[in-house]
C-alpha cells in the first residue's frame, strides 16, 4: 500500500482515466487490410495529444515518430495510427527487420487463441527456475537450421547487442588466451550499442565518447590481404573475429562469399573463434534461413562459423555456438515464442525475391541518374542515391508518400519487406518510391496530401433473413459468382439456413439482390474438407461461414463487410468463440482481406481442393480474447517473484487486450502506443525521489550498459565503474560481468578491470566509504563513470542502510561522481516501504540514477536532471523494451500499490529467521520486505537444501553460491509461508549436510 493516501488516490484516478481510454479485451477487431491513408494535411490530433502526455517535462527523449500506433488495427504491411481518420503507412522496413510476416502475424494470432501462449502470456515464467518447453523447442528448431557443428543454442534477454556480447563471452572462453582484450571487426560494421558491441561498431560517430581504452576493437578493411596482415601483426591481442555477412546499418553492403570464406579460413588459422552477426540478416531475410547458408556456406564444419547471433525477428537475442553457454540468464519467454513462430515460416520470405528484383531493376532503369547499385536478397533490398543530400530528401518524404523505411550508411535507402506482402502491395510501394524519387528536388514534396478517404458505401442496404421468395435469385447469383466446382447446391444452402443463419442483402431502393451470407455450427459440416480437420469440431464453439457472396456490380461498396459483420454479430450473440471458413487461395484476395480485417488468421492451408490441385485457406476469426486453456497451479514458488510478481496467471491480466501488442510488435525506440504512454504516465506518477526522466531498456544488463553510455557521454575521461562486493548487475554483457561479483560464475568472468569495494554491511560504513575515497585518490574522480550500489543485493541480500547511503552520496557529490542505486530486488513495492526501497531510506538521500529490472524484456533507468541526456536517438536499441512486458509491469504496479504487504513480510521474516536458526552457525538472513536471502556459509549445503525443497515442491532461488533467495509473489498468502513452505524448508535444512 502506498503510505501516502493522497498519492494512492492520485494513482486510482490515473487508473480510472486510463482504463476509460484502453481497449476492452473482447473488443471487436477492425484491422486495415487494404490501403494507405493520409489524413487531410497529415493531421494526427490523437497521436499528438498522446505524445505530449509522454514528453511533457522531458520525461523521455523526444524521439518517437509522430504517429502513435494502433496495434489492434495494424495488419500485414499496414501500420495504422490511433487517429480518426488514421494515417496508414506501408511499413516497408518491417519494424527494422523485426517482423517476418508483418503486423498481426497469423501464426502468433493462432498461438494466442489456441493455447500456445498459455504458459507465458499472463506472466513471464523464470526460465532459470523451471524448464521452459518454449525455449527447448526454439533451440531445437534453430539448431536444425544451423550450419554444421553448431550444436548449442542459448538465449539472452534483450536483442542483438546482448546476443553479440554473449557470443563474445563464449568466444573469449574458447579463444587461445582468455585474457585477451580485443575483437577484430570490419570497416562498415554495426554490432549494437552495449559497451563491447558498440566498441566493435566501426562508425566513430556512433562510438563517440564511449570507447574503452585498451579494449578497442581493431577495424580491418574489407579485404583479405589486409586481414591477413592485421592478423599477422596483432592476432595475439585478439580473442574473436566478428562480421555481418551483409552489413546492414553500414549501407546494405553484400559481402562476397569468397571474402567471407577467406575470413573463416584466416580466423581459423589464427585459432580465433568467428562470430557471424545475423541479427539483421537471419530468419529468412535473404530467403534462406541464414544469410551465411544463402551464400552456400556452412554445409560442412570447414565452412561453418563458430558462432552465429540473431535477434530482431528472433524476438530476443539468440546465440548458436559450437560451445555451450555456461551462464544462461532468464529471458522473456513470450518473446522467444513469437520468435519461434516467426522462424517456423521464415523461409516464405524467399518467394518475394523475384518480384522485388523485377520492380527494383525497373526502378533503377527509370532513374539512372539517381538510383545505383540496386541489390536484393529475399525480402531485403536497397539502392544508393548520389549523396547524403538526396538520401535525406528521400527519407524526408516517406510519410507524405505513405510508406516507412530507413536509410543506412552514407547514401543508401534500404527496405525490409515481410512475407505478407502481395504483388499489389509491391506495386503500390514501388509507385510511391518512384514518386519520391521524382520529387527529390520539390520543396513541397513533404507536404501531406489527403489519400484514402471514406469508402463508398451502399446508400440503402437492406439486410434481412432469407424467405422462400429469395431462393431463385440466390441460386442464380451463386452460379454466376463461382465456377461449378466451387458453387454450393441449393440443398446445401437450404440446410445451412435451417440449421443456422441465412441473410440476404438487397438494395433498399430497387430491391435488387446484392448478396447473401450463410453459416451454421461447424458440426453441420463434419464431412467437409477443412471443418473435418478442425480440432474444435464437436465442441460447439465454432460457427462455420459456409458462403458469403456479393454480386459483381455491388462489390467494393461495403456489402460484403456489412454481411460479414452481421454474421459475426450473430455468432457472438449465439455464444460462439470462433467463426471459421474457407477461401480459395488466389481467387479470393478481397474476401481474405475482408476476413482478416475482422481478425481472421490462417488456421490451415488445404491442398487439392475443389476437385483439383487448388489450395484453400481455412481461416478462423476469434470472437473472444485469449483465455488460458489450462489452470496453472500456483505451487510454492519462492524463486520466481521477480519475473512473476503476481504468480503465473494474475486474474487482472484477463481484462487487458494483449493480442495487438503481442502479435504486432513495434520497435518502441521509434513508436509509441496508447498502452506504452499509459505505462509511462504511471511511472511519472511514482518517479523515485530526485529523478525526473527515464530511459527504457530491454533487459537487466542493458540497464547498466545504457546508464554507462549516458554518463560516459558527459564524462569524457571516465572509464571505471565502481561496484560492491557481492553485487549483481547481470551476467550477460561485459560491463555487467565486470561489475557483478564473480563468485559462482565461470573463468574470466569480468572483461574490464573495474573495482568492487567492500559492502558497508560487511565492513561498516566508514571503511566502505574510505575504500571509495581510496579509489578516487588513486584514479581521480573524473576517471570514475559512476558508483553502482544495490539497495538490496539480489544475490547477497546485503542492504544499503540510510547511514551508508548518505555517506556514499556525500562523497560522490563532493567529487561530482554519479551515484546509481539498483532497485531490482526492492522496487515495485517489494521492499514494503512504498514503490521504491528508497522510500524507506532517509529523505535526504537522493541518488542520481535508479535502475530497475521489473522482469520480462524491460528495464527502467530513472535519472536526475544533472545527468539526463535528452538528445534523441542517442541511447536506443532496436526494441527499447517490449510492449507486452510494459503492460504486465503496469498492471503489477497498479495491483501492488493497493496491497497491504505487512502480514506477508512478517511471515517471510519469521520463515527466514527460523530457517537460519535451524542452519546454525554461519547462517545469515539478508534482504528486506518480500526479498529475503538465506546464507548457509556453505555452498554445498545450500545446494542440497535447494534440491530437497524442489523435490518436495518448494522452489527457492539462487543467490551467491552459499545463498538461497526467498522471493515470493507480492500477493503470497502468509499462511502458505507459515505452513507448507515452512515445513518443507525446515525439514530440508534438518536433513541437509554440509560439504
Ligand X SMILES: Cc1ncc(COP(=O)(O)O)c(C=O)c1O
Binding site for ligand X (CB under 6 A): 159-161, 164, 190-192, 244, 248-249, 277, 279-280, 311, 877-878
Q: Are 529 and 458 in contact (CB under 8 A)?
A: no
What DSSP state is assigned to residue 655? G
CB of 353 to ligand X, least distance (A): 20
CB of 486 to ligand X, least distance (A): 46
Give the C-alpha separation, 599 to 626, whole Å.
13
How are beta strands 954-958 and 636-638 bridged, if at all?
parallel
Residue 575 has which C-alpha cell? 455464444
- Measured from the CB atom, the residue of 878 and 965 that comes closer to ligand X is 878
Give the C-alpha separation, 749 to 732, whole Å.
10
Q: Are 546 and 567 in contact (CB under 8 A)?
A: no
- Measured from the CB atom, the residue of 248 and 537 that comes closer to ligand X is 248
- Measured from the CB atom, the residue of 164 and 583 that comes closer to ligand X is 164
Q: Are 745 and 761 in contact (CB under 8 A)?
A: no
Give the C-alpha separation, 39 to 88, whole Å.
9
Residue 589 has which C-alpha cell? 484476395
Tell me if residue 988 falls in helix, strand or coil. helix
- Measured from the CB atom, the residue of 164 and 848 that comes closer to ligand X is 164
CB of 683 to ligand X, least distance (A): 22
Give DSSP secondary structure letters for 551-598: -GGGTTTTHHHHHHHHHHHHHHHTT-SEEEEEEETTT-HHHHHHHHHT
Q: Are 436 and 398 in contact (CB under 8 A)?
A: yes
- Measured from the CB atom, the residue of 192 and 727 that comes closer to ligand X is 192
- Measured from the CB atom, the residue of 243 and 757 that comes closer to ligand X is 243
Tell me if residue 928 falls in helix, strand or coil. strand
Strand partners, 318: 155, 310
For the beta sheet containing 78-80, the strands, ordered from the edge strand earlier in sequence to the opposite edge, are 78-80, 88-91, 403-404
CB of 98 to ligand X, least distance (A): 8
Residue 761 has which C-alpha cell? 554491511
Residue 795 has which C-alpha cell? 544475490
In SS3 terms, 461-530 reads as EEEEECCHHHHHHHHHHHHHHCCCCCCCCHHHHHHHHHHCEEEEEEECCCCCEEEEEEEEEHHHHCCCCC
CB of 343 to ligand X, least distance (A): 16
- Measured from the CB atom, the residue of 335 and 738 that comes closer to ligand X is 335
- Measured from the CB atom, the residue of 160 and 760 that comes closer to ligand X is 160
Q: Are 530 and 606 in contact (CB under 8 A)?
A: yes
- Measured from the CB atom, the residue of 249 and 637 that comes closer to ligand X is 249
- Measured from the CB atom, the residue of 34 and 405 that comes closer to ligand X is 405
Strand partners, 696: 860
CB of 941 to ligand X, least distance (A): 40
Q: Are 172 and 178 in contact (CB under 8 A)?
A: yes
Give the C-alpha separation, 225 to 789, whole Å.
48
- Measured from the CB atom, the residue of 248 and 548 that comes closer to ligand X is 248
- Measured from the CB atom, the residue of 99 and 945 that comes closer to ligand X is 99
- Measured from the CB atom, the residue of 95 and 609 that comes closer to ligand X is 95
- Rg of the chain in Å (alpha carbons): 30
Label residue 753 exposed, middle or buried (CB < 10 Å: 0-12, 13-18, 19+): exposed
List C-alpha distances in Å: 30 to 24, 221, 420, 431, 595: 13, 51, 18, 27, 10
- Measured from the CB atom, the residue of 190 and 931 that comes closer to ligand X is 190
- Residue 47 CB partners (closer than 8 Å, separation 6+): 66, 67, 68, 81, 82, 83
CB of 97 to ligand X, least distance (A): 8
Of 860, 877, 880, 857, nearest in space to 338 by CA: 857
- Measured from the CB atom, the residue of 287 and 881 that comes closer to ligand X is 881
- Measured from the CB atom, the residue of 2 and 98 that comes closer to ligand X is 98
CB of 334 to ligand X, least distance (A): 17
Give the C-alpha separation, 194 to 164, whole Å.
9
Residue 147 has which C-alpha cell? 550450419
Alpha helix (H) residue ranges in 686-817: 700-714, 734-739, 760-763, 765-779, 802-814
Q: Are 316 and 699 in contact (CB under 8 A)?
A: no
For the beta sheet containing 819-822, the strands, ordered from the edge strand earlier in sequence to the opposite edge, are 693-697, 859-863, 849-852, 819-822, 784-790, 720-724, 756-757
Label residue 737 exposed, middle or buried (CB < 10 Å: 0-12, 13-18, 19+): buried
- Measured from the CB atom, the residue of 297 and 600 that comes closer to ligand X is 297
Q: Are 265 and 228 in contact (CB under 8 A)?
A: no
Amino acid at each position: 500500500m502506498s503510505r501516502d493516501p493522497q498519492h494512492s488516490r492520485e494513482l486510482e484516478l490515473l487508473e480510472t482515466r486510463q482504463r476509460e481510454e484502453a481497449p476492452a479485451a473482447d473488443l471487436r477487431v477492425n484491422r486495415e487490410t487494404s490501403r494507405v491513408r493520409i489524413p487531410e494535411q497529415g493531421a494526427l490530433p490523437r497521436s499528438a495529444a498522446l505524445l505530449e502526455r509522454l514528453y511533457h517535462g522531458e520525461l523521455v527523449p523526444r524521439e518517437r515518430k509522430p504517429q502513435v500506433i494502433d496495434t489492434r488495427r495494424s495488419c500485414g504491411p499496414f501500420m495504422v495510427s490511433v487517429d480518426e481518420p488514421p494515417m496508414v503507412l506501408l511499413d516497408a522496413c518491417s519494424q527494422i527487420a523485426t517482423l517476418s510476416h508483418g503486423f498481426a502475424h497469423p501464426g502468433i494470432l493462432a498461438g494466442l487463441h489456441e493455447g500456445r501462449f498459455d504458459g507465458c502470456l499472463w506472466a513471464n515464467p523464470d526460465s532459470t527456475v523451471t524448464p521452459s518447453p518454449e525455449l527447448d523447442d526454439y533451440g531445437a528448431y534453430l539448431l536444425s537450421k544451423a550450419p554444421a557443428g553448431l550444436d548449442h543454442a542459448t538465449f539472452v534477454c534483450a536483442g542483438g547487442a546482448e546476443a553479440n556480447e554473449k557470443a563474445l563471452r563464449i568466444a573469449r572462453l574458447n579463444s587461445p588466451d582468455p585474457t585477451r582484450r580485443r575483437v577484430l571487426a570490419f570497416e562498415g560494421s554495426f554490432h549494437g550499442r552495449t559497451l563491447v558491441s558498440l566498441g566493435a561498431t566501426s562508425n566513430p560517430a556512433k562510438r563517440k565518447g564511449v570507447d574503452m581504452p585498451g579494449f578497442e576493437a581493431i577495424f580491418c578493411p574489407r579485404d583479405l590481404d589486409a586481414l591477413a596482415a592485421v592478423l599477422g601483426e596483432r592476432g595475439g591481442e585478439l580473442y574473436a573475429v566478428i562480421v555481418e555477412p551483409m552489413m546492414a546499418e553500414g549501407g546494405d553492403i553484400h559481402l562476397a562469399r569468397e571474402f567471407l570464406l577467406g575470413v573463416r579460413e584466416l580466423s581459423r588459422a589464427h585459432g580465433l573463434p568467428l562470430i557471424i552477426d545475423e541479427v539483421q540478416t537471419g530468419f529468412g531475410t535473404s530467403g534462406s534461413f541464414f544469410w551465411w547458408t544463402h551464400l552456400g556456406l556452412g554445409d560442412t564444419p570447414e565452412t561453418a562459423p563458430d558462432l552465429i547471433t540473431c535477434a530482431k525477428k528472433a524476438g530476443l537475442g539468440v546465440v548458436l555456438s559450437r560451445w555451450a553457454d555456461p551462464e544462461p540468464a532468464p529471458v522473456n519467454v513470450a518473446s522467444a515464442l513469437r520468435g519461434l513462430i516467426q522462424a517456423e515460416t521464415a523461409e516464405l520470405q524467399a518467394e518475394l525475391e523475384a518480384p522485388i528484383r523485377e520492380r527494383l531493376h525497373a526502378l533503377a532503369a527509370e532513374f539512372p541518374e539517381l538510383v545505383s547499385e540496386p541489390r536484393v536478397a529475399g525480402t531485403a533490398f536497397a539502392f544508393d542515391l548520389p549523396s547524403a543530400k538526396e538520401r535525406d530528401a528521400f527519407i524526408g518524404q516517406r510519410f507524405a508518400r505513405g510508406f516507412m523505411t530507413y536509410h543506412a550508411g552514407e547514401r543508401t535507402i534500404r527496405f525490409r519487406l515481410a512475407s505478407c506482402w502481395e504483388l499489389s502491395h509491391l506495386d503500390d510501394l514501388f509507385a510511391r518510391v518512384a514518386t519520391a524519387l521524382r520529387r527529390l528536388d520539390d520543396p513541397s514534396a513533404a507536404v501531406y496530401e489527403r489519400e484514402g478517404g471514406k469508402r463508398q458505401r451502399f446508400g440503402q442496404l437492406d439486410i434481412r433473413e432469407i424467405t422462400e421468395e429469395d431462393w431463385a435469385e440466390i441460386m442464380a447469383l451463386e452460379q454466376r459468382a463461382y465456377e461449378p466446382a466451387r458453387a454450393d447446391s441449393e440443398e446445401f444452402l437450404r440446410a445451412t439456413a435451417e440449421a443456422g443463419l441465412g441473410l440476404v442483402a438487397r438494395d433498399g431502393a430497387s430491391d435488387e439482390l446484392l448478396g447473401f451470407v450463410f453459416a451454421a455450427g461447424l458440426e453441420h459440416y463434419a464431412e467437409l474438407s477443412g471443418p473435418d480437420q478442425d480440432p474444435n469440431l464437436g465442441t460447439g464453439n465454432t460457427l462455420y461461414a459456409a458462403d458469403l457472396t456479393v454480386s459483381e456490380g455491388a462489390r467494393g461498396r461495403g456489402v460484403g463487410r456489412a454481411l460479414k459483420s452481421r454474421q459475426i454479430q450473430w455468432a457472438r450473440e449465439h455464444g460462439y468463440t470462433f467463426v471459421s471458413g474457407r477461401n480459395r487461395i488466389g481467387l479470393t484476395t478481397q474476401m481474405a482481406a475482408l476476413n482478416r480485417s475482422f481478425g481472421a488468421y490462417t488456421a490451415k492451408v488445404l491442398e487439392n481442393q475443389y476437385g483439383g490441385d487448388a489450395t484453400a485457406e481455412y481461416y478462423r476469426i476469434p470472437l473472444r480474447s485469449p483465455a488460458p486453456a489450462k489452470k496453472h497451479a500456483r505451487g510454492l514458488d519462492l524463486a520466481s517473484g521477480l519475473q512473476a510478481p503476481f504468480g503465473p496467471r494474475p486474474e487482472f491480466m484477463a481484462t487487458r487486450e494483449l493480442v495487438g501488442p503481442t502479435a504486432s510488435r513495434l520497435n518502441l525506440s521509434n513508436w509509441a502506443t496508447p498502452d506504452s504512454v499509459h505505462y509511462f504516465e504511471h511511472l511519472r506518477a511514482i518517479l523515485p525521489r530526485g529523478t525526473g526522466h527515464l530511459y527504457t531498456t530491454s533487459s537487466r544488463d542493458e540497464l547498466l550498459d545504457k546508464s554507462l553510455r549516458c554518463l560516459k557521454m558527459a564524462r569524457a575521461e571516465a572509464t571505471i565503474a565502481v561496484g560492491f562486493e557481492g553485487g549483481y548487475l547481470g551476467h550477460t554483457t561485459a560491463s555487467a560481468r565486470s561489475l557483478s561479483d564473480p563468485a559462482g560464475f565461470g573463468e574470466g568472468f569480468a572483461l574490464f578491470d573495474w573495482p568492487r569495494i567492500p559492502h558497508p554491511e560487511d565492513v561498516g560504513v566508514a571503511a566502505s566509504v574510505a575504500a571509495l575515497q581510496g579509489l578516487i585518490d588513486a584514479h581521480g574522480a573524473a576517471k570514475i563513470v559512476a558508483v553502482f550500489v544495490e539497495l538490496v543485493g539480489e544475490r547477497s541480500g546485503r542492504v544499503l542502510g540510510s547511514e551508508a547511503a548518505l555517506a556514499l552520496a556525500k562523497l560522490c557529490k563532493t567529487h561530482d561522481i554519479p551515484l546509481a542505486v539498483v532497485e531490482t530486488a526492492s522496487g515495485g513495492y517489494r521492499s514494503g516501504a512504498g514503490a521504491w526501497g528508497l522510500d524507506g531510506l532517509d529523505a535526504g538521500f537522493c541518488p542520481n540514477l535508479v535502475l530497475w529490472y521489473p522482469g520480462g524484456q524491460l528495464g527502467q533507468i530513472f535519472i536526475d536532471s544533472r545527468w539526463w541526456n535528452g538528445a534523441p536517438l542517442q541511447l536506443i536499441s532496436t526494441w527499447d523494451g517490449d510492449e507486452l512486458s510494459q503492460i504486465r509491469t503496469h498492471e503489477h504496479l497498479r495491483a501492488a500499490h493497493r496491497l497491504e504487504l505487512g502480514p506477508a513480510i512478517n511471515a517471510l521474516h519469521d520463515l527466514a529467521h527460523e530457517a537460519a536458526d535451524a542452519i546454525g552457525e554461519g547462517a545469515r538472513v539478508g534482504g528486506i520486505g518480500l526479498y529475503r536471502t538465506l546464507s548457509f556459509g556453505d555452498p554445498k549445503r545450500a545446494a542440497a537444501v535447494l534440491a530437497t525443497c524442489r523435490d518436495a515442491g518448494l522452489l527457492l532461488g539462487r543467490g551467491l553460491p552459499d545463498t538461497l533467495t526467498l522471493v515470493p509473489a507480492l500477493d503470497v498468502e502468509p499462511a502458505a509461508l507459515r505452513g507448507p513452505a515452512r515445513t518443507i524448508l525446515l525439514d530440508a535444512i534438518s536433513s541437509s549436510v554440509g560439504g
